[in-house]
């Protein structure tokens, strides 16, 4: 089973080369949108990646900052960190990495640049994630694409003629035979087990929480009466936000530039997937830091035990998500790759896991008013949506290896692959065809 991993890099930018960096990133963004940039498509391990510039004093998003500009990189990949860094810095494609990171402080000089020196530089700026969610755990990029091809092949077969004279079970056997005799799908019979909830570990986690309940209740009371009621909270609505910032954030959120076939005219293409990048500051003090880290520990423990079927706290649209505490525990970055629109995505969060969002982000500065750590906050939809927009950042580069696949498709494709290899009864066969 493939291990999906995250990489986060934060590298200081040479201030005099900031404009050069923007130029490189803008050119890459244009090439990606036109489908002309094959660097990442050549990789068989990169699911998603992005680059973001933070702390730019000249940016409308960082007015008044005293920080020096930094470049943030985030990726979701298969395999080991060493192999991923080799993939990024390989001898054929290192020109891109050189152009980008030569704008960053202490990147190796041209005469010192080798595969190993590039990898060492990137590795030295990697930041450990606080919590990481996978929407399709155990599935490599290669497997995801293969299973999509299998599903499309099965649909083509089903559309090729009228199958009314076959029962669901007979048709399943017919498709199974076709695939088994097709050399393009020889991999289908390789063993793959769908991840399931580990109920034993889940029971242990519940037991631990029950035993810790007195401590948790006392801690919540300390946070509420000792800190929360004294903290500044967020009171803006979306109508109060800077329209220029909103325009920048929305520009490529649901639409990207495209061309009408054969005309050369620009049009707009709807993005099935979207991304969200957020930067927030931690509230000062050890109590807030301990609370945040405790919530991250809970997330790291719960996610691989329970959230293994494509839903994060009941939200069925997230491919990958992560929280990263950095800058000496002063700030938090949140990255998400998801299906659908920004408003739908955050609306699902509010409906399904508002308590989790509140428990995490109430430890950051100027969050909507929270009550007893887990209530209020994200459930105050008007202020929470405004806060989310206000703390969101524009992403300079975002790449998805499968931009037209929903996370539901990805997981259903794996179920189709598994069920195709099994001996089913009539009822199970009917369910199989519902997935296709």
> Can you give the CATH number for the domain in which 70 is found?
3.30.70.1090
Q: Please state which of the ranges 81-95, 217-231, 334-348 shows the lowest mean pLDDT.
A: 81-95
Q: CA-based angle 203:209:210, to the nearest 5?
A: 90
What average pLDDT does range 295-317 have in this prediction?
A: 93
The pLDDT, as a whole number, for residue 346 is 86
CA distance 345 to 317: 8
What average pLDDT does range 315-321 have in this prediction?
A: 93
CA distance 389 to 123: 31
**CB-hemisphere CA count at 13 Å for 380?**
22
Say yes or no: 312 and 418 in one domain: no
What would you report as the CA-atom Rg of the chain, rounded to the nearest whole angstrom? 24
What average pLDDT does range 284-289 have in this prediction?
A: 97
Can you read off the two tokens belonging to residue 362? 């109430």
The pLDDT, as a whole number, for residue 254 is 59
Say yes or no: 356 and 414 in one domain: no
Closest CA to 398 of 37, 99, 141: 37
CA distance 91 to 117: 12
The pLDDT, as a whole number, for residue 261 is 47
Give me the residue label for tokens 């061309």. Answer: 259
Q: Residues with Cβ < 8 Å from 341, sequence gap 6 or more? A: 253, 254, 274
Q: CA-based angle 164:169:185, to the nearest 5?
A: 100
Residue 238 lies in a domain: yes
Q: Compare 32 and 323 and report the one with higher pLDDT.
A: 323
Residue 126: phi, psi to the nearest 5? -80, 145
Say yes or no: 360 and 422 in one domain: no
Give me the residue label for tokens 């509230």. Answer: 283
Residue 358 lies in a domain: yes
| Residue 411 near residue 310 (C-beta atoms within 8 A) | yes
CA distance 51 to 394: 10
The pLDDT, as a whole number, for residue 212 is 97
**CB-hemisphere CA count at 13 Å for 273?**
22
Residue 136 lies in a domain: no
Say yes or no: 410 and 378 in one domain: no
Say yes or no: 154 and 178 in one domain: yes
Q: Which residues pair with 48 in a beta bridge?
A: 76, 400
Q: Where are the beta strands (DSSP E) in 327-379?
A: 331-339, 370-371, 375-376
Say yes or no: 88 and 153 in one domain: no
Say yes or no: 89 and 104 in one domain: yes
Residue 132 lies in a domain: no
Q: How many domains does the chain have?
A: 3
pLDDT exceeds cutoff 60 at 401: yes
Convert the pLDDT of each residue in 153-192 to its tens digit.
999 999 998 888 899 999 999 999 999 999 999 999 888 9
Say yes or no: 390 and 420 in one domain: no
The pLDDT, as a whole number, for residue 315 is 87
Q: Please state which of the ranges 262-271, 321-330, 401-410 shows the lowest mean pLDDT.
A: 262-271
| Residue 323 near residue 359 (C-beta atoms within 8 A) | no
Q: Please state which of the ranges 25-39, 267-281, 376-390, 391-405 shows the lowest mean pLDDT.
A: 25-39
CA distance 82 to 99: 21
- Judge residue 314's burial from the number of C-beta atoms within 10 Å of its C-beta, 0-12 exposed, 13-18 middle, 19 or more buried: exposed
Maximum alpha-carbon separation in the chain: 73
Say yes or no: 307 and 213 in one domain: yes
| Residue 383 near residue 234 (C-beta atoms within 8 A) | yes
pLDDT exceeds cutoff 80 at 31: no
Residue 96 lies in a domain: yes
Q: Compare 327 and 314 and report the one with higher pLDDT.
A: 327
Say yes or no: 101 and 48 in one domain: yes
Q: Compare 72 and 94 and report the one with higher pLDDT.
A: 72
pLDDT exceeds cutoff 90 at 237: yes
CA distance 193 to 238: 45
Average pLDDT over all residues of the chain: 91
The pLDDT, as a whole number, for residue 286 is 97
Q: Please state which of the ranges 54-63, 251-260, 295-304, 308-317 shows the lowest mean pLDDT.
A: 251-260
pLDDT exceeds cutoff 70 at 266: no
Convert the pLDDT of each residue in 194-233 to its tens digit.
999 999 999 999 999 999 999 999 999 999 999 999 999 9
The pLDDT, as a whole number, for residue 259 is 52
CA distance 267 to 255: 9
Say yes or no: 175 and 208 in one domain: no
Say yes or no: 334 and 374 in one domain: yes
Can you read off the two tokens belonging to residue 422? 């099994």
Closest CA to 228 of 107, 377, 44: 377
Closest CA to 407 of 341, 318, 328: 318
Residue 55 lies in a domain: yes
Residue 82 lies in a domain: yes
Helices (H), 65-194: 81-88, 94-101, 115-124, 141-159, 168-180
The 3-state DSSP class for residue 326 equals strand
**Domain ranges, residue 188:** 141-194+406-435
What average pLDDT does range 138-162 have in this prediction?
A: 94
CA distance 305 to 324: 21
What average pLDDT does range 402-420 have in this prediction?
A: 94
Closest CA to 306 of 159, 137, 192, 66: 137
In the chain, pLDDT over 70 holds for what percent of residues?
93
Residue 226 lies in a domain: yes
| Residue 234 near residue 387 (C-beta atoms within 8 A) | yes
């Amino acid at each position: 089973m493939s291990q999906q991993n995250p990489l986060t890099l934060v590298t200081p930018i040479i201030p005099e080369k900031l404009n050069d960096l923007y130029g490189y990133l803008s050119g890459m963004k244009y090439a990606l949108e036109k489908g002309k940039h094959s660097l990442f498509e050549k990789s068989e391990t990169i699911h998603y990646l992005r680059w973001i510039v933070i702390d730019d004093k000249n940016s409308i998003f960082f007015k008044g900052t005293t920080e020096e500009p930094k470049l943030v990189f985030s990726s979701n990949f298969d395999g080991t960190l060493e192999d991923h860094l080799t993939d990024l810095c390989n001898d054929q494609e290192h020109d891109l990495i050189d152009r980008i990171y030569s704008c960053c402080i202490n990147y190796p000089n041209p005469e010192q640049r080798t595969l190993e020196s590039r990898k060492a530089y990137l590795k030295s700026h990697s930041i450990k994630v606080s919590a990481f969610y996978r929407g399709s755990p155990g599935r490599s990029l290669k497997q995801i694409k293969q299973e999509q091809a299998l599903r499309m092949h099965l649909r083509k077969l089903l559309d090729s003629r009228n199958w009314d004279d076959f029962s669901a079970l007979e048709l399943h056997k017919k498709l199974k035979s076709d695939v088994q005799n097709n050399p393009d799908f020889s991999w289908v019979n390789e063993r793959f087990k769908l991840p399931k909830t580990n109920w034993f570990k889940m029971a242990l986690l519940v037991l631990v929480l029950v035993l810790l309940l007195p401590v948790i209740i006392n801690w919540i009371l300390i946070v509420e009466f000792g800190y929360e009621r004294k903290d500044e909270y967020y009171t803006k609505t979306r109508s109060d936000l800077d329209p220029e910032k909103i325009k920048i954030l929305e520009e490529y959120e649901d639409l990207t530039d495209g061309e009408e076939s054969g005309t050369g005219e620009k049009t707009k293409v709807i993005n099935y997937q979207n991304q969200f990048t957020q930067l927030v500051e931690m509230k000062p003090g050890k109590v807030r830091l301990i609370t945040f880290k405790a919530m991250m520990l809970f997330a790291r423990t719960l996610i691989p035990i329970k959230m293994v079927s494509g839903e994060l706290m009941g939200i069925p649209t997230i491919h990958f998500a992560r929280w990263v505490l950095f800058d000496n525990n002063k700030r938090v970055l949140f990255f998400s790759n998801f299906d659908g629109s920004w408003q739908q995505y955050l609306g699902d969060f509010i409906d399904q896991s508002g308590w989790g969002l509140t428990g995490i982000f109430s430890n950051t500065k100027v969050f909507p008013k929270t009550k007893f750590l887990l209530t209020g906050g994200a459930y105050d939809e008007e202020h929470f949506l405004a806060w989310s927009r206000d703390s969101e950042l524009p992403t300079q580069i975002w790449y998805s290896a499968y931009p037209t696949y929903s996370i539901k498709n990805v997981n259903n494709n794996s179920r189709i692959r598994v069920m195709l290899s099994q001996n089913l009864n009539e009822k199970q066969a009917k369910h199989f065809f519902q997935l296709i």
